[in-house]
Structure 1
């Protein structure tokens, strides 16, 4: 099998792992009603399954960039797939809700992080051109995941009970091991790629190199060798934590995901509360996924042609506008109208995740992308864990799922503002680089 064919198989595997991530972040809520009934719980209790998934995902993004310094992507992805599948299977025998939270939430989130970093990192190395289109294709898995898995999970629950459904879902996650095995067919998984640095990266790297050189001179004058800390600092790319862009990126992404992933997590329970059937309620998530599919084609074309100067501004406008349908959800109860609104939400926000992904590469470069992606998630996903659980408790206090949509709309406006701040930061750094 030629390298080109292997690269496309890697791309398909990355699409699949994106779908599995969406299956957890968007479709776990199909289990909420069953778990609340069986264990006598409230939203604040069951939302921990998604909260701990976020926390496990954040922990995985902290450790796997370091792990991948010592093991290949193939080993990491295959091991992660096997462990996550086993954990989900074990959770079907749970006698307390916390066993489900740990197995389906914490452990699965940690393992998905390893699979995503490995497969996304390999895609970055295999496809060095047209990344705007490539990452829209990769993130299509997120759209397809919500579109396919939410009704599927609900159907499995209706037919096999939630315990039987977890058996089948365990097998779905196990299939990712095949995607990990594919990585052994290409030599790029162990090759070091040259950095694809932007002007912003070059300016910041010059500043950091100066600081590092100063520290090394200080170490030498003290008659020593470089310390263990400085060695780990370089080897694990810890210098990323000194870059303001990392934190601006995290704030922009978290406030977007708080609405698009955390608030929308409650659209299925909301549909059930207003009298929709289980399948109708789960199809609301499919409506978002359907809208996203068309959105990704649009973003692929527009972002490829959009100059870098205006890319962040365009992103900010789209994110701010997406808040409008969120606010409108408060007063809507008609199934056809809700379907339409959620399709609109998918169309407007569906391609934003891939744009964020590609901008991360533009800022930090190809060689540092796995670490930048991982460390950004290290910060944002624990915040997501707290956000998910907090939303659950707020709904319990407020007495209606619509409060999640109001919070989501406000969060999108904040995200738009953070993107504009990031845009100004990048412009300033580009001007500094030009002046030098």
Structure 2
């Protein structure tokens, strides 16, 4: 890891301030005598503003760099919490926490993750997992701390302390070291990047999937404490259960980040697995009544929900490239804000209608399962193997580190030097590159071949284990397609 990239690791502790609002949910309901649905809008507005304003943070980071943008975001987040401590109505909380602090989170979350992803290619998932452990650490530390502060200082005094904690984002932002990549000029300005992304089918499907996931993902962060109190749990044991979730979340992020780099196959499959398990565990919360069952379910939910986060962000550079990561991540955050805006109020409405949180958790789990279904449509999902980083990232990494790296697994060859390949050559095809490493037969592009593509595809699949045929076909060692062919005249 580059030392400059490590500067963003503490950012995760403060960025997810909206998730910490679950500790204040019950206090706000009692203080303002409002239904759960209206109080839920505080967190929903904060999450939505954070995500909807992400393109602004991306554009400012492209123009001025992530360091001043993140520092400004920390000031806004702290100012919003400070003003919220003087609120006399829910409208004041909507404007202070939801709008002002949410704007600060928008200027911190996207620039830090985008800056980090540009530093890594082969270990990107692990880097994301380690960076996002700050969320689990903050939840583990702040769950009992905030409960203790609420008992001694009430919610107004606690918000003042949260404002002081949020100011640490300014110091964390000062540690960022922006990186200039050689591919940055080639991708064009923000307008050109946006136009290309809006015509990028896999990116659009990925955005739809994350929007569905986001709709149900934040429900426990807002309503789990209230659900436990409906089960006659005391506040401190409920806070302990949240700490259990936080520890499992932390472990899940690290393990998932490591698996994303070492397990062969596309990262989308790991994301689909973790999303499915999270949706199932979320839907089972109303079923668990005994403390032992709730603790076991909390461990499962915390691990899987934490595990899906690093792979969700690490696979975006594979879809759009590191040069467009600022614009891509900002656009994804903006669109998925629709889910963050509607999820918590919908669950609060279901609670007010049904009298319990059973329907709320079941519907939240259904949204995550729907998102995992969309992930199946992403490219190379059913490939035998797929890259953990884009091939062009390897060359970019070599230029950035000033180390002469070669593309692993490739070497030039001539057909005449390999009698076996010459003997097995398909009529009309000559390979230009011979790869070594994992192969995939999912995306053969035989449109220019003189032989029938259907017949030739069958032959390739039947003889895929033959070394000579693999050398002939020129499978990319980091992808799932044939690299290059030319027709014999």
Q: What stretches of structure 1 of length at least 5 have no aligned partner? A: 197-204, 210-229
8 A contact 1:44–1:393 mirrored in 2: yes
Specify the alignment match of 1:434 in structure 2. 482
C-alpha distance in 2 between matches for 1:240 and 1:284? 41
Higher relative contact order structure (alpha carbons within 8 Å, sequence separation ≥ 6)? 1
Residue 379 of structure 1: how far off its partner (Å): 0.3
Question: Does 2:5 align with 1:7?
Answer: yes
User: C-alpha distance in 1, partners of 2:264/2:87?
Assistant: 53
**Residue in 1 that maps onto 2:224:** 267
Which structure: larger Rg?
A: 2
Spell out the pairing of 1:154-169 with structure 2 (5 A cutoff). 154-169=147-162
State the SS of the aligned residue for 2:315: helix
Aligned to 1:43: 36
Alignment correspondent of 1:421: 377
Query: How many Å separate the matches in 1 of 2:305 and 2:162?
Result: 27
Describe the superposition over 1:297-350 as per-residue Cα deviations: whole angstroms up to 9, x where unpaired: 3323322122234x3234323332333332322122223321221111112232
- What's the offset of the Cα at 1:248? 1.4
- SS of 1:68 mapped into structure 2: helix
Counterpart of 1:251? 208
> Residue in 2 aligned with 1:153?
146
What RMSD over aligned residues (CA atoms) do the two structures have, in Å?
2.6
Q: How big is the shift at 1:128?
A: 4.3
Aligned to 1:220: none
Q: State whether residues 44 and 389 of structure 1, in contact with CA within 8 Å, keep that contact through their aligned partners in structure 2.
A: yes
Q: Distance in 2 between matches of 1:82 and 1:232?
A: 26
How many residue pairs get matched? 391
> What is aligned with 2:478?
none
Deviations 1:12-62 (A, max 9, x none): 2xxx3322233322x212212211112110111100111111221123212
Provide the rounded CA distance (Å) in 2 between the counterparts of 1:408 and 1:270: 14
Equivalent of residue 16 in structure 2, options 22, 27, 30: 22
> Of 170, 178, 181, which residue of structure 2 is paired with 1:193?
181
Aligned equivalent of 1:123: 116
Counterpart-to-counterpart distance in 2, 1:83 and 1:262:
25
CA spacing shift, 1:101–1:259, aligned 2, 3 Å: same
Q: TM-score, normalised by structure 2?
A: 0.74
| TM-score, scaled to structure 1 | 0.82
- Asked if the contact 1:73–1:118 (Cα under 8 Å) also holds between the matched residues in 2, the reply is yes
Instruction: Give the C-alpha shift of residue 232 in structure 1.
Output: 6.0
1:59 touches 1:110 (CA, 8 Å); kept in 2?
A: no
**C-alpha spacing 1:192/1:338, structure 2 compared with 1 (3 Å):** same
Q: Deviations over 1:178-227 (max 9, x none)?
A: 012223xx4xx2x421349xxxxxxxx9xxx9xxxxxxxxxxxxxxxxxx
Deviation at 1:78, TM superposition (A): 0.9
Residue 64 of structure 2 aligns to a residue in which SS? Answer: coil
Query: Which of 240, 245, 261 does residue 288 from structure 1 map onto?
Result: 245
Instruction: After the TM superposition, list the runs of 4 or more consecutive aligned residues in structure 1 that deviate by more than 6 angstroms.
Output: 425-429
CA-CA distance at 1:4 after TM superposition: 4.7
